């Protein structure tokens, strides 16, 4: 398993007996639940984040705790009290022993250890191309007095996606990499210019040279893995009028039927997620073709993803809130699993 040129340390583990695979370690969990009242127009995501809770960690528990109080499709009912996930009732709960843990410095200290929890993507290789980087910040917006740079937020979603794919058994190459940022749980990500292109090349300022550099990196890796299932995923943040609210949308090469199919799978995954978690909101993310250099010229099937409009205040929430960035990465990963199972 490789991610750019970062040294990867495999944790050496002794062989376990069959029984040890089901060994549990008891841990104490203490009671600490509170309640919140549903506000007008509020969904589960907003209630959790409003109360300082992680959507990725607490969503399923919230639904379980409140299954008799939720409306159709897990909607909240205005004025009703809901139990917030805390730490469940006092008891001794089993914590499953971890196996197949690997260490990736690129994810940062908090997230460096990654457990491979499934083989859903075993045999798949992904080249994650986070937009811009180095001397080019990409689209630049502002929010609450902070500068919002496309390359930093696209990169954070990209490495969150990379980690999720590794958890599912894939091999991942970060084509754009930042050795010291890691996954960041901050709203405002400090801009820098130290990103490199795989394996460890400085990124040029000239746009044509920059695009050729990352395309060549992908194509060289593709040639050495010809027999494998391979995908190139490019992640960007768009820049449009302040009035234009857009959903996550997808581009593919017009010559690639498989690319179109993969993009449609991702789009449908997002549609289903919004219908489940924010019913009534609607989702208008599109799939279309566009003559983008990295999409046209990279050898693997490619999907280019735009996360939102850096100038629109509601779109910025999609990338400012760390849990939202994680949710987007999770949903992309889920779509890619479907793509792998149906297109390999």
Per cent of the chain over pLDDT 70 is 87
Q: Find the mean pLDDT for residues 261-273.
A: 98
Look at residue 312 and tell me whether its pLDDT is greater than 50.
yes
Quote the CA–CA distance of 207 and 195 in Å, as a whole number. Answer: 15
Helix (H, G, I), strand (E, B) or coil at 128: strand
Look at residue 261 and tell me whether its pLDDT is greater than 70.
yes
In order of 183, 194, 319, the CA distances from 186 in angstroms are: 9, 19, 10
Q: At residue 247, what are phi and psi to the nearest 5 degrees?
A: -90, 165
The tens digit of pLDDT for each residue in 116-168 reads 999 999 999 999 999 999 999 999 999 999 999 999 999 999 999 999 999 99
Global pTM reads 0.76
The tens digit of pLDDT for each residue in 189-213 reads 999 999 999 999 999 999 999 999 9
Q: Find the mean pLDDT for residues 71-87.
A: 85
H helical segments located in the chain: 44-50, 55-65, 150-167, 207-223, 257-277, 293-297, 313-320, 322-343
In order of 19, 237, 246, 291, the CA distances from 312 in angstroms are: 54, 11, 8, 25
State which fold the 99-343 domain adopts: Aminopeptidase (3.40.630)
The tens digit of pLDDT for each residue in 26-45 reads 332 323 468 899 988 788 88
Q: How many CA atoms lie within 13 A of 131 on its CB side?
A: 24
Q: What is the pLDDT at residue 32?
A: 47
The tens digit of pLDDT for each residue in 225-247 reads 999 999 999 999 999 888 899 99
The tens digit of pLDDT for each residue in 85-119 reads 874 433 344 555 667 999 999 999 999 999 999 99
Q: What is the pLDDT at residue 22?
A: 28
Quote the CA–CA distance of 176 and 4 in Å, as a whole number. Answer: 8
The answer to whether 31-89 and 99-343 have equal CATH topology is no
Q: What is the pLDDT at residue 266?
A: 98
Mean pLDDT score of the chain, rounded to an integer? 87
Look at residue 21 and tell me whether its pLDDT is greater than 50.
no
Is the pLDDT higher at 67 or at 1?
Answer: 67
Look at residue 75 and tell me whether its pLDDT is greater than 50.
yes
Domain ranges of the chain: 31-89, 99-343
CATH number of 31-89, picked from 3.90.75, 3.40.1130, 3.40.50, 3.10.350:
3.10.350
């Amino acid at each position: 398993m490789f991610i750019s040129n970062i040294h990867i340390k495999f944790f050496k583990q002794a062989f376990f007996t069959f029984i040890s695979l089901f060994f549990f370690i008891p841990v104490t969990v203490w009671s600490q639940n509170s309640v919140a009242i549903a506000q007008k127009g509020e969904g589960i995501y907003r209630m959790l984040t409003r109360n300082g809770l992680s959507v990725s960690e607490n969503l399923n528990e919230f639904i379980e705790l409140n299954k008799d109080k939720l409306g159709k499709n897990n909607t909240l009912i205005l004025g009703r009290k809901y139990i917030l996930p805390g730490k469940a009732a006092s008891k001794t709960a089993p914590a499953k022993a971890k196996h197949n843990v690997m260490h990736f410095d690129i994810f940062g200290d908090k997230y460096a250890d990654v457990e491979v929890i499934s083989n859903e993507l075993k045999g798949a290789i992904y080249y994650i191309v986070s937009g811009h980087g180095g001397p080019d910040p990409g689209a630049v917006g502002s929010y609450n007095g902070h500068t919002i740079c496309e390359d930093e937020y696209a990169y954070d979603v990209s490495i969150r996606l990379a980690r999720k794919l590794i958890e599912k058994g894939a091999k991942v190459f970060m084509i754009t990499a930042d050795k010291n940022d890691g996954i960041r749980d901050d709203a405002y990500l400090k801009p820098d210019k130290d990103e490199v292109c795989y394996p460890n090349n400085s990124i040029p300022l000239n746009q044509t040279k920059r695009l050729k550099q990352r395309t060549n990196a992908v194509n060289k890796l593709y040639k050495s893995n010809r027999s494998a299932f391979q995908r190139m995923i490019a992640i960007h943040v768009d820049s449009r009028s302040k009035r234009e609210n857009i959903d996550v949308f997808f581009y593919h090469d017009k010559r690639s039927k498989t690319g179109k199919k993969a993009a449609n799978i991702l789009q449908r995954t997002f549609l289903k997620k919004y219908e489940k978690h924010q019913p009534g909101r609607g989702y208008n993310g599109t799939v279309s073709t566009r003559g983008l250099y990295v999409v046209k010229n990279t050898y693997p099937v490619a999907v280019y993803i735009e996360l939102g409009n850096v100038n629109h205040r509601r779109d910025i929430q999609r990338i400012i809130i760390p849990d939202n960035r994680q949710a987007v990465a999770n949903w992309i990963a889920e779509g890619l699993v479907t793509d792998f199972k149906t297109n390999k």
